[in-house]
Amino acid sequence: MRPDILFPLFAPVTTLKGLGPKLGKLTEKLVGPHVADLLWHLPTGIIDRRFAPHVAEAPDGFIATLTVRVEYHSAPANPRHPYKVRCSDETGQIDLIFFHARGDWLVKQLPVGDTVVISGKVEWFNGMPQMAHPDHIVPADAKGEFDPVEPVYPMTAGLASKVLRKAMASALSAAKELPEWQDPAWLARRDWPTWRAALQSVHNPRDDADLSAMSPPRCRLAFDELLSNQLALAMIREHQRKLSGRSIGGDGRLRQRVTDALPFALTGAQASSLKEIYADMAADRRMLRLLQGDVGSGKTVVALLAMLNAVETGAQAALMAPTEILARQHFETLAPLADAAGVRLGILTGRDKGKARAAIYERLASGEIDIAIGTHALFQDDVAFRDLAMAVIDEQHRFGVHQRLQLSAKGRSVDVLVMTATPIPRTLTLTAYGDMDVSRLTEKPPGRKPITTITIPLERLEEVIAGIQRKITEGARVYWVCPLVDESEVVDLAAATERHALLRSMIGERVGLVHGKMKPTDKDAVMAAFAAGDLDVLVATTVIEVGVNVPEASVMVIEHAERFGLAQLHQLRGRIGRGTAASTCILLYDSPLSETSKARLAIMKGTEDGFLIAEEDLRLRGAGEVLGTRQSGMPEFRLADLAVHGELLAAARDDARLIMDRDPELQSERGKALRVLLYLFERDQAVKYLRSG
Ligand code: ADP
Ligand code: MG
């Protein structure tokens, strides 16, 4: 249960001053539903009103705060003309300009003969200074009514910055001092303020240095967030460790048959990853290991051998893929090898219904299936295994921590191997997986040809199509990936359909289309036709992103490449360069490109190393975007910027480890404060694992 002390911070934003239902909704859209969400919305700039020159010296185009006497009002005869208020000081005169003004209101605000303080942008016009719609107008004796340095927040249309600032002030006063959850020695060493003081100061920046992510108050808040993340992961992990494991070590006979049947020898990286996996499985605690390897690095074989290790002991194994297509593909790749070893494979996806589904359930429960391949359908509540000992999750970035837990609940102490092709930078691995053990396939199977990557502006589309036609006559097979326009599949689909029609008209019949809205069987049919060589070109939305294996495909065109994340481009490009032919990737972009987009496409041209690409992407864009957030299952940080606070992340991990060693149930004074921290950042699930949570 969330502690009472946090209630004010989890009140809806609509309870804040100045936010009714309508503005509240906008605010919610901008920051999130709770008062705390607003507090995490940090300023990105300041407006400095401390500059207070005389009227004659107020420079053109600058924000200034002037103390002036009101001379007279001149209301326009024509309401379309502006209302003017002439003011002056001893050095000169200035006109205040108002469009669509309400005269009675202005007369009250600016009484003739009074001295007032005005603040806003000065503009010179025909030798005379003006200020259109001053941001502030207050009587001379009430100068303190506006803040001389105003924070500037990222905004959304329809929400005035004044309104947001007022709501923020009200949110800040709702933020009372909380018990200190950080180690006092660490705070002192870093010279960091308390949580509340840090919050107050990040929302009241005085200069650019205060806006820096490296400023002590920002670092403090970032560290709070990172610690909550690392502590929550450590607790989940600890919880899993406590569940007893079992020691698994097969006699190697099935693995021997498979390695004999493979047309290649394992790479060094595959062999050493397997060694690590076998050691984990042999230990009597649960395995929780991440296998990271670029597209095409050969994860599937590693997974198979690991699963066979379990099957050799008479137990079952499961392989879960994020999509139907991938599950089927795994099934087809593994079927001949399983045959060679005499191992029984089964497949279960959302498509299996009724009797067929019931039959698979039965074979899983009776143990007639040794290795089950499927989508998350495998881990529905009504699925039971006879004895599941090992589970592999492919392309984990599509699943969340939650599914991982669900899955390990399916068997008696299931060992879990998570495979990802997303080359997540080290820093980010830590945030998503905490201390999860990691094996990396850093070396590609031998014989891969490098991919030539070129960038071409969209205006040269016709030339590109002509080039493609030439390639096709030479026997190439081509992926054509259509732009990711927005979240809306409908729009993406329209773009893909249109491109498909154009390519058909120019290239001919042998151009197929596959997209996410198609019926699975239709989708499979098109993919199969492409794989079999009955189609030369496959136009696709990003459904082909992950995993699909057509070694003969040697050309990939990606339209609007500037709209894709680098990780995604890298994944897509990994679909080619798998066969014996030299491959080409053409990145079509809409010019002009921003500097960042230019830099990003240059990275794609410069390297095929996924880890390097990921690091660069993080540097260029920040963590949130690299991970593609929502669908990624990766945590989103509000206060920490991993491109800047990477060092703090490592410290947070160490601290979390120490805490778990000394006070695993969070019972001490600090432990109790840490519970508040976990709730503050909504890691409620982790707290549930505490005995007296
Ligand atoms: P990933 O899942 O990591 O993207 P795959 O497991 O699909 O990669 O492997 C890509 C291709 O490389 C497959 O055709 C596979 O048979 C082949 N392969 C895997 N390991 C080796 C190896 N050691 N030597 C040669 N080819 C390999
Ligand atoms: Mg794969």
All CATH 2.40.50.140 domain ranges of the chain, comma separated, are 50-146
Mutate to test the pocket of ligand 1, among 300, 418, 548 (most ligand atoms within 8 A of CB): 300
- Ligand 1 touching residue 300 (CB < 6 A): yes
Angle among Cα 548, 334, 421 to the nearest 5 degrees reads 40
- Cα separation, 395 vs 421, in Å, equals 6
Q: So what CATH class is 50-146?
A: mainly beta
List beta partners, residue 371: 317, 345
- Ligand 1 touching residue 302 (CB < 6 A): no
- Ligand 1 touching residue 301 (CB < 6 A): yes
DSSP 299-364: HHHHHHHHHHHHHTTT-EEEEE-SSHHHHHHHHHHHHHHHHHHT--EEEE-TT--HHHHHHHHHHH
pLDDT band at 487 (very low <50, low <70, confident <90, very high): low
Q: So what CATH class is 253-441?
A: alpha beta
Q: What is the model's pTM?
A: 0.66
The predicted structure's pLDDT at residue 404? 55
Mean pLDDT of the chain: 88
Atom of ligand 1 nearest to the CA of 302: 6
Distance 638 CA to ligand 2 centre (A): 32
Question: What are 646-677's pLDDT values in tens digits?
Answer: 889 889 989 999 999 999 999 999 999 999 99
Question: What are 217-261's pLDDT values in tens digits?
Answer: 999 999 999 999 889 888 877 777 677 678 999 999 999 999 999
pLDDT band at 101 (very low <50, low <70, confident <90, very high): confident
- Ligand 1 touching residue 63 (CB < 6 A): no
- Cα separation, 563 vs 216, in Å, equals 35
CATH fold label, 451-607: Rossmann fold (3.40.50)
pLDDT higher than 50, residue 624: no
Least Cα distance to 283 among 314, 244, 251, 318 occurs for 244
The predicted structure's pLDDT at residue 631? 36
Atom of ligand 1 nearest to the CA of 267: 23
The predicted structure's pLDDT at residue 447? 77
- Helix extents (H) in 485-551: 489-507, 520-532
What is the sign of the dihedral through the CA atoms of 345, 272, 279 and 240?
negative
Atom of ligand 1 nearest to the CA of 547: 4
Share of the chain above pLDDT 90, in %: 60
Identify the residue whose C-alpha is closest to ligand 1 atom 12: 298
pLDDT higher than 50, residue 625: no
Mutate to test the pocket of ligand 1, among 258, 259, 262, 264 (most ligand atoms within 8 A of CB): 264
All CATH 3.40.50.300 domain ranges of the chain, comma separated, are 253-441, 451-607
Share of the chain above pLDDT 70, in %: 90
Give the ligand whose atoms come closest to the C-alpha of residue 394: 2
Question: What are 514-524's pLDDT values in tens digits?
Answer: 887 788 788 88
Least trusted range by pLDDT, from 35-44, 370-379, 623-632: 623-632
pLDDT higher than 80, residue 202: yes
Q: In what order do the strands lie in the sheet with 316-320?
A: 345-348, 371-374, 316-320, 388-394, 415-420, 288-293, 437-441
- Ligand 1 touching residue 575 (CB < 6 A): no
What is the sign of the dihedral through the CA atoms of 627, 632, 637 and 640?
negative
